[in-house]
Amino acid sequence: MQKAMLLAKIFAATTLGLSVLTFASTANATNLVPNTEGEIKTDIDCIVATCIDPTTLPFSYSVTSKDYDSDNLGHQFGKSRLFVDDRTTDNDYGFGIKFGQTDAGTNPPAGEYWFRPVAISNGTPFEGGQLEVGRFLFDFLGKTAASVTFDLFDVEDANFTRILKVNGLDLNPLDPKFIATAGANGNRQQITIYDVKSFEIQLGNPGPNSTFKNTGDGVAMRASVPEPSAVISLGAMSAVAGMFSARQRKKANIA
């Protein structure tokens, strides 16, 4: 009887611990998107006065804009710029970049902050800055996130929006775990990667092999990591369960 009661207590303690872990990993997260609008500082100088330096954020990171579209299929794009946008407000940043409350194609929910790439063609923002396509390297500056969850908005072309690298290593380009699927207008989907020091991501498709031949498929992104103070590791939980079990065995004189 004592053995049965002990096993029940250990099972209950372990189940509670796993429930806490699951809740902490999902409900308590740090959004990598700042709660302010403006341009994110990358390896290219900001062209607007409102420049957000991500290395100064509570969960600091750096962003590098990468070259893409070198296959001569369409418009030749240079490195994209990266903005934070809430479409509740109108923003005219000058230099041909103007975000209205209604975009030409990609309209995340109002009142939410999203990363918004701006495709640059021959030095000029393409489609008035409203083609959300770009390739970016995020580096966590020596930190390792247990996971990164990407919230992707309005992916309408298959096999283009995807995670390209994690910690500098190429991912399998055919692995569906890292590739966004094509969906209906305004769809929202998630991808999660683990043990992350850095990641490289392609957002959108510049065309003309896109569903939208004259422009391309624009995609907005949010990303989050677990809050370190909220995450209880499985190892720590196992240790607690082990201590509890040992004390109960000693108390009950169970070998």
**What digits encode the pLDDT tens for the residues 19-38?**
333 333 444 799 999 999 99
Same domain, 238 and 216: no
| Nearest alpha carbon to residue 119 among 141, 138, 101, 135 | 135
Give CA–CA dist 226/244, Å, rounded: 27
**Strands, sheet with 169-170, edge to edge from the N-terminal-most edge strand:** 62-65, 134-139, 198-203, 162-166, 169-170
Same domain, 236 and 207: no
Give CA–CA dist 155/117, Å, rounded: 14
Same domain, 165 and 74: yes
Q: What are phi and psi of 241, to 5 degrees?
A: -65, -40
Domain count, the chain: 2
Q: What is the pTM of this model?
A: 0.78
One-letter amino acid for residue 145 of the chain: A
Q: What are phi and psi of 31, to 5 degrees?
A: -80, 130
Give CA–CA dist 158/211, Å, rounded: 9
Same domain, 10 and 75: no
Give CA–CA dist 89/100, Å, rounded: 7
Same domain, 71 and 37: yes
Burial code (b: 16+ CB inside 10 Å, e: under 16) for 101-114 equals eebebbbbeeebbb
Structural domain harbouring 241? 1-28+232-255
Give CA–CA dist 207/232, Å, rounded: 44
| Nearest alpha carbon to residue 199 among 171, 218, 240 | 171
From first to last of the 255 residues of the chain, give the pLDDT tens digit. 454 444 444 444 433 343 333 333 444 799 999 999 999 999 999 998 779 999 999 999 999 999 986 556 656 789 999 999 998 999 999 888 988 887 776 777 889 999 999 999 888 999 888 899 999 999 999 999 999 999 999 999 999 999 999 999 999 989 999 999 999 988 999 999 999 999 999 999 988 788 888 888 999 999 999 987 433 344 444 444 444 444 444 444 444
